[in-house]
Amino acid sequence: MNVPSRPVFLAALEAFVGILRLRKGPEDVPASAGLLAAVLLGQVLLGLLVLSIPDQPQVDRPLLAVALELGVMLLGVLLVLRMAGFPERFLQTATAIFGVQLVLAPVLYAARWLLVTYQQDPVMQGPAVFVSAVLAVWLLVVGARILRAATNYPLLACVFLLIGMQIATLLVVLSVFPPAPDTPAPT
């Protein structure tokens, strides 16, 4: 496997920022298997970091949970592109979807930390939920635009496809790692 050179990373970073600003699309991302591997490795590290935030439900095997999330999303992107008749766009599309999340990683991590830390605080809970919701909607819009550029489907269809992939990811992860049952309070 070829490791991407520095110029590829700089071009990718420029493309990711452009995609987040709604000025570029996945076609502007360098087509590089090494870049996709690097972005996926970054996603694994980010996922493990997010799972390590204190005061949230713990997962027995966090690496497996992160791998399942990434695997289901990658499979979803591949299936959507095959349905659209553009499987050759997988490399750039998958790299764009996961790359924009990495660019936003510090903000995503901070929002998740706020949400977990202030979930019981009546004053800070509202702002924490608001920040998380704005980021979720922004990533949904950006992801749908990436899918629209890759598939030529209408934007609304891409929104639903992306939501479907996220629901499928959640269902697979929950089927492997069911939430712990609530323990009744001692009386």
pLDDT bracket for residue 5 (50, 70, 90): low
Domain-embedded: residue 82: yes
Q: What is the pLDDT of residues 73-111, one digit of tens each?
A: 999 999 999 999 999 999 999 999 999 999 998 888 888
More confident residue, 4 or 20: 20
Global pTM reads 0.84
Domain-embedded: residue 187: no
What is the DSSP track for 73-98?
A: HHHHHHHHHHHHT-GGGHHHHHHHHH
Domain-embedded: residue 100: yes
Is 72 in contact with 172 (CB distance < 8 Å)? yes
Domain-embedded: residue 185: no
pLDDT bracket for residue 159 (50, 70, 90): very high
The sign one gets for the Cα dihedral 4, 32, 104, 109 is: negative
Domain that holds residue 25: 6-176
Q: How many domains, in total, are found in the chain? A: 1
Domain-embedded: residue 183: no
Domain-embedded: residue 166: yes
Q: What is the pLDDT of residues 17-49, one digit of tens each?
A: 999 999 999 999 999 999 999 999 999 998 888
Domain-embedded: residue 127: yes
Question: HEC string of 127-150?
Answer: HHHHHHHHHHHHHHHHHHHHHHHH
